[in-house]
Amino acid sequence: MGVPLAPDGALTARLALEGITHRFGPAEALRDVSLQVAPGSVHALLGENGAGKTTLLRIVAGLLEPSAGTLRLDGAARRFRSPRDARAAGIGMVHQHSTAIPALTVAENVALAAGWAVRPAELARRVAALAERVGLPLDPAARVETLPVALKQRLEIVKALAVETRVLLLDEPTAVLAPAEIADLLTLVRRLAASGTSVVLITHKLDEALAAADHVTVLRRGRVTLDGPARLQTAESLATAMLGGAGAPRDAAPQPAPPGATLVEASGLTVPRERDGAPGLRDASLVVRAGEIVAVAGVEGSGQRELLRAVAGLAPPTAGTLRVEGTVAFVPEDRTTEGLIPSLSLTENVVLGRDDQAPFGRRILDWRAAAGATAALLAQHDVRAPGPGAPAAALSGGNQQKLVLARALARAPRVVVAENPTRGLDLAATAAVHARLRAAAAAGCAVLLASTDLDEVLAVGTRVVVAARGRLLEAPPGADRDTIGALMLAAPA
């Protein structure tokens, strides 16, 4: 089927949004948003957390109906009343967080998304061939609950491409990927566009938008502030459009204090993987002192998850010794499944695990005090929310992450363990999280941070440790990206 032409002979937009407005009760998430996505193009959609980007994509995907406005697909006005309607029209969406069913296998989840018959042997071959064809290999027999976050995201992309897709919506697809995986994904995106698929890409990484996109639209507080060819933009112009003239945020947090007492000490540590019990971390030694931010670099699955969870008391070692002094605060990488219960209120989420501590009360929970403490926490950490009674699901990803970090730091910990703490966050939210971690170190905490983002590792860490193939290697002081990258490949098997 050819691409429709407008009366003047010009190509009709594959996807056109005209005057889209959406309200959640009295709150207006989108106001009069219009944009056009050309056939076979990559269209970047940028904005701060809470700017309305995901809401807009959810409307296109049939998950929400707009309060006003028109959606056109290849020139024809369409109104999707369900994701099934959008899927049937050739629209696939990759969500920021996994939508797969944990108890099912990879193959079963793909079959469910695509409507394929479940004939085990045939299905396994079909899914393996699909994953290989799109350049994102997966084990069809693996249960989703055993997959690390990066492989769950890979599964989401494979699910979206399992049927003929005319428009692919990607909501922060690179947020859970390592640098090499990001490059591979952006190459896949360009390849899909070259084959005729239109791709809408939400990303907080401005360099990704400039490298991959043909066109860019910026939203701020639900309105379009910039719309035009990507080749005419710079990182500075995009940041200005996103932040309202403030440019890229600079954090003025205090720098970490000189190292003090040793608060975390591991020697010969071996920690098993959750999914199969095999050693994920082997014979590892590490020291983290008060006032330090030790940043762990490594591709997904290199042992950093097991290290952090052992220090946080969540993964018992099977060999070696581990000493951790004082209260430990843990910030998990997946805020929606491990950090928060989305259906509960902000107050209830803040109280979780602390119901017997002041100011919440002892034995009998004081909900009024808890709500007051939550409101103060929201204000102190600039968590933008309707109030302490709002459900966690109502917050943008950045504000959810700020809440998880705020709750962790409210425990006055001696040790802070943070796992990919800025994954999927915008420029301002990332700067805010980094500032809080630096402030914690300056106050005498020992901070252990793992990130698959090398820029974050280099920007925040006062020392860098590399996890590779289950081993830990100390990076030399002042090591650059190339040096750390070489260490990521150098660890012995």
Residue extents of the structural domains in the chain: 15-90+164-243, 249-327+413-493, 341-410
Give strand ranges (E) for 252-298: 262-272, 279-289, 293-297
- What pLDDT is attached to residue 271? 93
CB atoms within 10 A of CB 359: 12
- What pLDDT is attached to residue 86? 94
What are the CA-CA distances from residue 32 to residues 22, 201, 414 (Å)? 9, 20, 48
CA 171 to chain centre: 9
Tell me if 105 sits within 8 A of 142, measured CB to CB: yes
The residues, ordered by sequence, that sit 6+ positions from 295 with a Cβ below 8 Å of its Cβ are 449, 450, 451, 456, 457, 458, 460, 461, 463, 464, 465
Q: Residue 118 is encoded by which pair of tokens? A: 């479940």
Tell me if 48 sits within 8 A of 429, measured CB to CB: yes
Parallel, antiparallel or unpaired: strands 91-94 and 262-272 = unpaired
- What CATH topology corresponds to 249-327+413-493? Rossmann fold (3.40.50)
**Fold equal for 15-90+164-243 and 249-327+413-493:** yes
Angle (nearest 5°) at CA 453 between 433 and 381 = 5
C-alpha–C-alpha distance, residues 402 and 424, integer Å: 12
- 342-367 pLDDT, tens digit each: 899 999 999 886 655 656 656 677 88
C-alpha–C-alpha distance, residues 51 and 224, integer Å: 10
Q: Residue 259 is encoded by which pair of tokens? A: 């190292």
- What pLDDT is attached to residue 198? 96
- 63-96 pLDDT, tens digit each: 999 999 999 999 999 999 999 999 999 999 998 7
- What pLDDT is attached to residue 40? 94
- What pLDDT is attached to residue 59? 96
Write down the CATH superfamily of domain 15-90+164-243: P-loop containing nucleotide triphosphate hydrolases (3.40.50.300)
- What pLDDT is attached to residue 2? 44
Alpha helix stretches (DSSP H) within 34-76? 53-60
The pTM of the full predicted model, rounded to 2 decimals, is: 0.68
Tell me if 67 sits within 8 A of 23, measured CB to CB: yes
- The list of the chain residues with pLDDT below 70 reads 1-11, 176, 178-180, 245-257, 353-363, 489-493
- 372-382 pLDDT, tens digit each: 989 999 998 88
